[in-house]
Structure 1
Amino acid sequence: MGKLGRIGVGVDYSAASKSAVRWAIDKLVGAGDSGDVIIILVHVLSPKSDPINKQLFEDTGSPLIPLEELNDMNVCKKYGLTPDPEVLDILNAASMTKGVEVAAKIYWGDPREKLCDSVENLKFDVLVLGSRGLGLVQRLLLGSVSTYVVQNAACPVTVVKTPPAAAKP
């Protein structure tokens, strides 16, 4: 596989998305990739959420938010985020040890559509998603974000299964 420059990771801070973040860092980022790779977390919030700046960015998503700003709770509050400290620890460690750049982008709307939009807008080389492991009936009734994105995204998509122990509350 060639060197990847832009890696998108869909996150909602569930066990599945934490697995996706870990997998992307462990499998797609090498120690010598400093400065060559950026991981962009893609958050899709409910269209009903109403952070201060939502109206400015509703169609295009927020500007890229660097990791340093993601660590600032005031910045997160401004965008309607409640980041998971464990995910921030994972990202901070990857930034320090592997030299990978990390940023986030926030969209509002249907996760399936907005994740596909993020691929187009941010020119990802690959998008990594977690899978909640819905059964066949649940997928048919509820739909699956990962299935939709795999079928419609304009880049390769990797779906990371959540380890059974991590999926339980």
Structure 2
Amino acid sequence: MGSDDVVVVADGRDGEARKIVVAVDESEESMYALSWCLNNIVQGQPRNCKDALVLLHAKRPTVVYPGLDSSDRRDNEMACWILQKADKLCAEHDVKVEKKVEEGDPGDVICEMVNVLKADLLIMGSHGYSQLTRSILRSVSHHCVQNASCPVLVVKMPK
């Protein structure tokens, strides 16, 4: 093979497009996982490849008290900022994406949406917490690895 040849790994579905979901939040690790996906999975695919990339942000449920909607408005602004940041990164790679924001416990929301979207792959970042910290804070990536209906790729940010 020449240096310009592209090797495409068959996904076992006779050339059908894959649906790749990338979970994004405000963390640096999340954006690194998206960048890694763009550089290592999406980049280098043939132009006729129709893989679909979905950016998913799980917004924690907000407790809204009568007369206090500023918390909900702030959460919506944060979700919008996160998706704009992720979308800009995708645009730099000339990749079109679908964006989704769902509200609820992040681990549960991500697993549910992966199932609803019939995703072929879930990609998410890792904060690199210790086992003790993970047990206290409940690791979303660990929950998804255990419960998602598709393969999960957890991308660890280099130190």
* Cα shift at 1:132: 0.3
Match of 1:61 in 2: none
- CA separation in 2, counterparts of 1:81 and 1:7? 20
Matching of residue 50 in structure 1 with residue 72 in structure 2:
yes
Letter in 2 for 1:14: S
Match of 2:142 in 1: 147
Q: Deviations over 1:48-96 (max 9, x none)?
A: 1635xxxxxxxxxxxxxxxxxxxxxxxx75x9522376533321022x2
Identity, % of aligned pairs? 34
TM-score where L is the length of structure 2: 0.75
- After TM superposition, which residue ranges in structure 1, 4 or more long, deviate above 6 angstroms? none
Letter in 1 for 2:133: Q
Match of 1:83 in 2: 82
* Cα shift at 1:37: 1.1
Higher share in helix: 1
Q: How does 1:88-99 map to 2 (within 5 A)?
A: 88-94=87-93, 96=94
Alpha carbons 1:8, 1:126 under 8 Å: kept: yes
CA 1:132/1:32 → structure 2, altered by over 3 Å: closer, same or farther?
same
Match of 1:122 in 2: 117
- CA separation in 1, counterparts of 2:49 and 2:97? 11
Query: Aligned pairs, how many?
Result: 135
TM-score where L is the length of structure 1: 0.71
Match of 1:32 in 2: 46
SS at match of 2:144: helix
* Cα shift at 1:20: 0.9
SS at match of 2:54: strand
Alpha carbons 1:5, 1:38 under 8 Å: kept: yes
Matching of residue 8 in structure 1 with residue 24 in structure 2:
no
- CA separation in 1, counterparts of 2:79 and 2:152? 26
Matching of residue 107 in structure 1 with residue 129 in structure 2:
no
CA 1:31/1:93 → structure 2, altered by over 3 Å: closer, same or farther?
farther
* Cα shift at 1:19: 1.0
